Every structure is written in C-alpha cells, then in structure tokens.
A and B are shown apart, each in its own frame.
Chain A
Amino acid sequence: MTAAGAGVARVRPAGRALLGLSGLAGLLVLVELLPRAGIVSDRSLPPTSRILAALADEAATAAFWVAVGDTLTAWAIGLAVAVAAGVAVGVLIGAVPVLRAVTASTVEFLRPIPSVALIPLAVLLYGSDLGSTLLLVVYAAFWQVLVQVLYGVADVDPVAEETARSFRFTAAARIRYVLWPTALPYVFTGVRLAASVALVLAVTAELVIGAPGLGAVIAVAQTSGAIPTMYALIVVTGLIGVAINLAARRAERHFLAWHQSVRGEVAA
C-alpha cells in the first residue's frame, strides 16, 4: 500500500482525475455503441443515452431521493455499528493473548459466511425493514474491520510496548499511546473496505428482501421490465460507491497525515 501510495502521488492530482474520467468516458461510449451496433440487444442493454435519460426522469421524482436517503441511512448506521464493534472487539481480543487464541478459529469460521446466507434469519427477526438491511450490512462489514484491527494490534513494536511497560504506563495508556497509533492505519484500511462492502450489502438486502432503498427500486424496475431505469439506478449505486471511496480515502489522508504511509517513505 505504501508503494502504491507513493507511485500515485507522482502523477499530479489533476492529471490523475483526468485519466480516471477518460476511462469512465470510454465506458460510456462503449455502452452507447454496443447496442447501437447490434452486438447486444438494446432490450438487454440500452445505450448510454437512454440510461441517462431514464436517470434524469428518476432524479426528478421525490421517491428516488427518498430511496437514496434510505440506502445511505442503512449504510451509515450499519458501517458505524460495524466499525465501533470491530474496533472494540479487535482491541480487546488483540490485547489479550488468551482471548485471541480462544477466538481465532471461531473468527475464521464465521468470517467467510456470506451475509446473504443470513437473509432468512434477517427476515424472521426484522421483516423487510431497516433492521434486516442493518443485520446484513453489519455482519459483512464487521469482519473487515475486526481482521484489520487484529493485524494492527499484532503489529505493535515489542520494544515500544516493553518501553511503555517499563515506564509503568497503565493498560489504558498503553492502548492509547502505543497500540492505537500502530493500529490506526489498519483500522482505516478496514473502514475503507467495510465502507464498500456495507454499500454492496445494503443494496443487496434491499434488492432481495425489499427493505426500503435503492435496491428495492431496482427490483421494482426489474420486475416491471423497465430496463433503462434499472440500469440508471445501478449507475446511481455505482456513483455512490465512488463517492464513498473518495470520501474514505480523503478521511484516511486527513487523519493519517502524520503516518509514513501517507507522508511517503522517509529515506532510511
């Protein structure tokens, strides 16, 4: 990650944004041309222009913005719960070696369970409400954070730890001044991963369960055979994903400005 960060930093930010946009423009042109050239049926993949027209129609309705709001609410609450729980549990497990040994196999057992496999349980507990979406979002995002925090805690420099002990730092102080600064970059990586996963699961839950939000509107468009509208809504989820990723990176740079992964390597 450090190397990638340094490499990207060499391209000027304006140039980088331009490159990103040109890639997007290429995709838009491709989607416009494929159906027009008859390579794919325009009933299955409408050209960009029709998708954008459908998007404009949608954006003019209040229901669309309510759905966007519902999805973002589920995402934000779910992510916040997952991050808080992931950090708390991660620091606790990481700081107590016995706990780590006891939970290691359980974590590895629970972590690969796909969140969507919990849909029947979610429906049973919460019906098709926000709770169902949250259950799926939190379950998926929690592990991303937890695992990163565990790595972060394991990365604490033993010399620093020993030094803090020699100076009779309390447990709380050791967590605050030794463990936390070491773990923080990992925490942010976890948050960034969790933020994307949380969005995917929020939309999936809405799509499958019918909890209010963009996913539910996509499902309605799908069952109605409103193909351009369906793609328009999918584009919206993509845009939200990009925005979330940008915001997460920005937050990372801001809060880790002191850290060498953001500052760039200092020649040893």
Chain B
Amino acid sequence: MRRFITGMTVLALVGAGAGCGSSEDTGAAPAGGVDQVKVGVIPIVDVAPIYLGQKQGFFGNRKIELTMESGQGGAAIVPGVVSGQFQFGFSNITSLLLAQTKNVPVKMVSNGVASTGEAGKDFGGVVVRKDSPITKAADLAGKKIAVNTLKNIGDTTVRESVRKAGGDPSTISFVEMPFPNMPAAVEAGQVDAAWVVEPSLSAVTAAGGRVVAWNYVDAAPNLTVAAYFASTKLIADKPDLVKRFTEAMNESLAYASAHPEEVREILGSYTKIDPKVRASLTLPKWPVEINKPSVETLSKLGAQDGIFGGATPDLDKILP
C-alpha cells in the first residue's frame, strides 16, 4: 500500500515518473532456498515449452518456482524485466535488437522459438483471401499488408520475402493490427494480405484463405524468432539463478521438441485455442541453441529497413 501511495504521489506531482522503477528489488529473494521467479510471456503457442517444463518439474528441480505473467502483445514485458518486476521475459529477436540499439540493459539467456524452416509447414506466413489475385510473394509489392507491430520482425521479414521473389518491397504499405483481428480484416478486404501466426493462420486457411509467402522461411534458414531474456543487472547479481533458469529452459525446449502431443495438450491449460485447432495447428520448432547467423540476418534486415534509426545492434551485447 505504501508503494501505491508513492505511485499516486508521483502522479499528483506530475514528476518525471519514468525514473521511479529503477530502485525496485528483484523480487527473487530465496524463500527456503527456492527462488520465486516471474516470467513475462505472451499467451501464445510459442511459449508452450516453459509451461510444459514447469509441469514436468524442470524448474522445480532447480529450486525455481515459476509464475507466468501474460499480457496481450507483450507491451509490458521489456519494461517489466528492466524494472525488475519480472526476472525473465519472452520477446522476439527484432524487439530485443531494437532494445539493444537503445541501450536497454537486457540480454538473451536462452532460445525461445524458431521457424520450422519449411515453406508450406511453418507456424507463420502471409495470407490472402480465397479469391485474391495475389498468388505469390512478388505480387505483394504495392499492396496493403497487416502486421502485428510496425518496424519489427513482421514487416522486415515480409519485405525480405518480396525482395527474394523479385518484387519491390519499398512499395508495400504496412498497417498495424493485432493478430486476432487479421482473419476478419483479410476476409472483409480491409487489407490485401496479413502476416499471421498460429492459431490465426489455421483460422484463415480454414476459411479458405491461402498462404502466399512464408516470411520466416524466406528470411533465413531455421530462423530463431524469439528468445528468453533477463536484465543485465540480474545476470550480474544472480548468475547462479540465471544459469539454473537457462538449464531448465533448455531442458524444457528439448522436451517440447520431443513431445509434440504433450505440447498440444498443455496449450489447453494457458490458452483457449479450440481443441480441434489445437490438434491440427502447425507447431514451431524449439531448438536449444539460438541460431546466431539468423540473428545476424534479422539485424541486417532491420538495419536495411531503417528500423534501428541508423544504429547497428551490437550482437555481442545481446546474445547470451
């Protein structure tokens, strides 16, 4: 309650509120030798391994008691990790590179999720309506395409798909829209195409939509899409906790890769994906290792599209 009053006081004074979170405790004080760890995640298919690992006891074994904090779109994750509200977070690579160019003190600690690397069988792609004249990636040039976040992994990889297919990526106009709204927007013709991931991808194809580009596959072979990360402060202060988390995460990723049926089952515990869709959707890959060349590619693509504002991400500072 005192912190709450502090918060209101800050507001009342219209102080420069942004500086107030830096003195937060890390919240990971060991209780009976067990570290209470909060992880900021997005409730999507990508984070199934951490839930599965929690259920299998991979974290409990290492004296880590996990609490998942999930928010839509993950707007809260990076600031949450930096301020110490969360010990770890899940974010896509481009967002982390972007954070690095702005000197946000975060660093990857384990792999998150990767593309399957197979065109026709990936968990994300650019979709169009059944009767759309667009049939291939090159046709996307000059069209209006929905992505979940502008200047991020979606538009840079979609541009690369079009570029590789011989189209002019600079003529595409991207619009921002949450993934769940995309199937309806494509259907209604509000956008010519949309970059969607599962389960929205299944929703579009079930309605007769077609995938015209597999942007993750086109961007780089076996592209690493997202990673778990921590603040550099936590990595410096509690190296042992970070090491145990990374080990548990790696074990979880390997377990999820080996047990796709258990992954589909665990999805029922933290998402509300329809059981039929759950059984049929395309699962991503969960390799233990971050594919560094693919991170370099994302960095190059981002720099090429100017999303880092002229800066170049320092990969040594962001990679584990």
Q: Which residues of A contact B (CB under 8 A)?
A: 41, 43-44, 85, 110, 118-129, 131, 134-135, 138-139, 207-210, 216, 219-226, 229
> With A119-B75, A124-B20, A216-B70 in contact, is A222–B7 under 8 Å at CB?
no
Inter-subunit contact B71/A208 (CB<8 Å): yes
A209 to B71, CA, bound (A): 5
**Cβ-Cβ contact count across A and B, 8 Å cutoff:** 127
Q: Which of B14, B83, B183, B272 is the one whose CB lies under 8 Å from A127?
A: B83
Q: Which residues of B contact A (CB under 8 A)?
A: 3-4, 6-8, 10-11, 14, 17-18, 20-21, 38, 40, 42-44, 69-72, 75-76, 79-80, 83, 85-86, 178-180, 183-184, 187-188, 199-200, 202-203, 207, 270-274, 277
Inter-subunit contact A225/B200 (CB<8 Å): yes
Inter-subunit contact A135/B4 (CB<8 Å): yes
A34 to chain B, nearest CB (A): 14
> With A44-B184, A120-B79, A131-B7 in contact, is A208–B72 under 8 Å at CB?
yes
**CB-CB nearest 6 A-B residue pairs:** A210-B71, A127-B85, A226-B272, A124-B21, A219-B72, A224-B272
Q: Which of A127, A208, A222, A226 is the one whose CB lies under 8 Å from B75?
A: A208
Inter-subunit contact A229/B272 (CB<8 Å): yes
> With A139-B11, A208-B71 in contact, is A43–B207 under 8 Å at CB?
yes
Inter-subunit contact B40/A128 (CB<8 Å): yes
- 7 other A-B residue contacts (CB within 8 Å) besides A121-B10, A220-B270, A225-B199: A41-B188, A44-B184, A123-B76, A124-B21, A124-B79, A209-B71, A219-B72
| Chain A contact residues, majority secondary structure | helix
Inter-subunit contact A225/B277 (CB<8 Å): yes
Chain B contacts of A127 at CB under 8 A? 38, 69, 76, 80, 83, 85-86
Q: Which of A44, A135, A221, A225 is the one whose CB lies under 8 Å from B8?
A: A135
Inter-subunit contact B203/A128 (CB<8 Å): no
A1 to B42, CA, bound (A): 46
B284 to chain A, nearest CB (A): 15
A208 to B69, CA, bound (A): 12
A96 to chain B, nearest CB (A): 17
Q: Which of B71, B83, B86 is the one whose CB lies under 8 Å from A219?
A: B71
Inter-subunit contact A128/B76 (CB<8 Å): yes
> With A119-B75, A208-B71 in contact, is A124–B272 under 8 Å at CB?
no
A140 to B174, CA, bound (A): 34
> With A127-B38, A210-B72, A229-B272 in contact, is A224–B7 under 8 Å at CB?
no
Which of B69, B71, B79, B83 is the most central at the interface, judged by chain A CB atoms within 10 Å of its CB? B71
> With A224-B43, A226-B273 in contact, is A126–B85 under 8 Å at CB?
yes
A208 to B79, CA, bound (A): 14
Chain B contacts of A225 at CB under 8 A? 180, 183, 199-200, 202-203, 273-274, 277
Inter-subunit contact B179/A121 (CB<8 Å): no
Chain B contacts of A139 at CB under 8 A? 8, 11
Chain A contacts of B85 at CB under 8 A? 123, 126-129
Inter-subunit contact A210/B76 (CB<8 Å): yes
14 residue pairs bridging A and B, Cβ less than 8 Å apart: A41-B188, A43-B184, A43-B207, A119-B75, A123-B83, A127-B38, A128-B76, A135-B8, A138-B8, A210-B72, A210-B76, A220-B43, A223-B42, A223-B44
